[in-house]
């Protein structure tokens, strides 16, 4: 049994079933992500664990004990939300000390712990500031410190970075990961951003329509999506029907749907001499720079696919629109 276990969890809001028999085990000390599109039930699952929602049926276990009907404050769970939830009228120090005071610790112990925690989250010099005097990223670090200073069994993070701009968001992702490792806390992170899930997690649980679509380590999820939805949500896969595949490559497909990543498609002027690859003709329709790669839209016998080519290699393709494409058979995922 995992440190956290969701067992046959169903949650209805009126006549709408939002969680459809979720079974999930989470190991101690891991950071796992609940990833999925808006409305798939991620926050509801998290809120059921925290006790902020009751489950319609099923059981929740934490550290060997069933907590399905335990009061929220007795579950020993810390939370950080998207909105900055600090008390505006208290300094950062006092915000972080709050949970420790409830635990009736001595003033000396509280001061030491607060100081330690503020150092860990990189706010050692901001203890006397009020939340309004901090940036968004600093406020979220303070919220994180407040949530983990009491050493809860689990830390829940519900889209804590979604209100933060892209650049700072990247550095905070690394910070949260470092703090989680340093404190060895078990954490569940909710996001709809696949890149965020990739860089942060030990395990990703992909949710779709109230169900777990796939659970895998990030690299595995990226390289081997198990369903059409997983392939469409992770890594911008090309998803082609068997008829389209046959039209495009002239080869009969081995499954109903074939998926391959844009970076698996190689483009060349000359016909490549490759065995164990599908080789076929196409016409470049457009190209859009996307960071370090150029994403080409290519028409192949009426089927449109995407191919990513490293920016420095794109010169090759500037002067012609007809090209050869090759995809290694092992890079094609049969769905």
Q: Which stretch binds ligand ATP (CB under 6 A): 41-49, 129-137, 176-184, 244-252?
A: 41-49
Selected range binding ligand ATP among 37-45, 173-181, 219-227, 289-297, rule: CB under 6 A: 37-45
Of 26, 31, 32, 40, which lies in the binding site for ligand ATP, with binding defined by CB under 6 A?
A: 40
Looking at 40-48, 61-69, 70-78, 147-155, which segment touches ligand ATP (CB under 6 A)? 40-48
Q: Is 15 in the site for ligand ATP (CB under 6 A)?
A: no
Q: What is the closest distance, in whole angstroms, from the C-beta atom of residue 158 to ligand ATP in the complex? A: 8
**What is the size of the binding site for ligand ATP (CB under 6 A)?**
11
Q: State how far the Cα of 137 lies from the Cα of 16, in Å rounded to an integer.
A: 36
Rounded to whole angstroms, the Cα distance separating 113 from 28 reads: 23
Which residue, 68 or 162, is less far from ligand ATP as judged by CB? 162
Chosen residue from 4, 9, 18, 92 binding ligand ATP by CB under 6 A: 18
CA angle, 222 then 3 then 190, to 5°:
45
Nearest by Cα to 61 from 2, 148, 10: 2
User: CB of 162: closest distance to ligand ATP in angstroms?
Assistant: 9
Footprint (CB under 6 A) of ligand ATP, residues 178-217: 192
Q: Which residues make up the interface to ligand ATP (CB under 6 A)?
A: 13, 18, 36, 38-44, 192
């Amino acid at each position: 049994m995992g440190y956290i276990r969701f067992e046959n969890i169903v949650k209805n809001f009126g006549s709408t079933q939002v969680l459809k028999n979720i079974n999930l085990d989470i190991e101690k000390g891991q950071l796992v992500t609940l990833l999925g599109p808006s409305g798939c039930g991620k926050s509801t699952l998290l809120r059921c664990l925290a006790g902020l929602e009751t489950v319609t049926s099923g059981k929740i276990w934490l550290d060997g004990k069933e907590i399905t009907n335990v009061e929220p404050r007795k579950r020993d769970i810390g939370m950080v939300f998207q909105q900055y939830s600090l008390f505006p009228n208290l300094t950062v120090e006092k915000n972080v000390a709050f949970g420790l005071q409830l635990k009736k610790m001595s003033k000396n112990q509280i001061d030491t712990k607060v100081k330690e925690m503020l150092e860990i989250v990189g706010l050692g010099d901001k203890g006397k500031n009020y939340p309004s005097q901090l940036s968004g990223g600093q406020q979220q670090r303070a919220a994180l410190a407040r949530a983990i200073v009491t050493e809860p069994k689990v830390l829940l993070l519900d889209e804590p970075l979604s209100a933060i701009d892209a650049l700072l968001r990247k550095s905070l992702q690394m910070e949260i990961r470092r703090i989680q490792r340093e404190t060895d806390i078990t954490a569940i992170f909710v996001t709809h951003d696949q890149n965020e899930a990739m860089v942060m997690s030990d395990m990703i649980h992909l949710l779709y329509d109230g169900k777990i679509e796939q659970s895998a380590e990030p690299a595995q999820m990226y390289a081997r999506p198990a369903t059409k939805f997983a392939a469409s949500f992770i890594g911008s896969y090309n998803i082609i029907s068997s008829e389209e595949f046959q039209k495009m490559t002239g080869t009969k497909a081995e499954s109903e749907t074939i998926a391959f990543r844009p970076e698996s498609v190689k483009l060349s002027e000359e016909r490549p001499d490759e065995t164990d690859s599908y080789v076929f003709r196409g016409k470049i329709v457009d190209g859009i720079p996307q960071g370090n790669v150029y994403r080409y839209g290519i028409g192949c016998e009426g089927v449109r696919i995407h191919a990513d080519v490293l920016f420095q290699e794109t010169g090759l393709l500037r002067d012609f629109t007809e090209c050869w494409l090759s995809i290694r058979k092992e890079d094609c995922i049969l769905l």
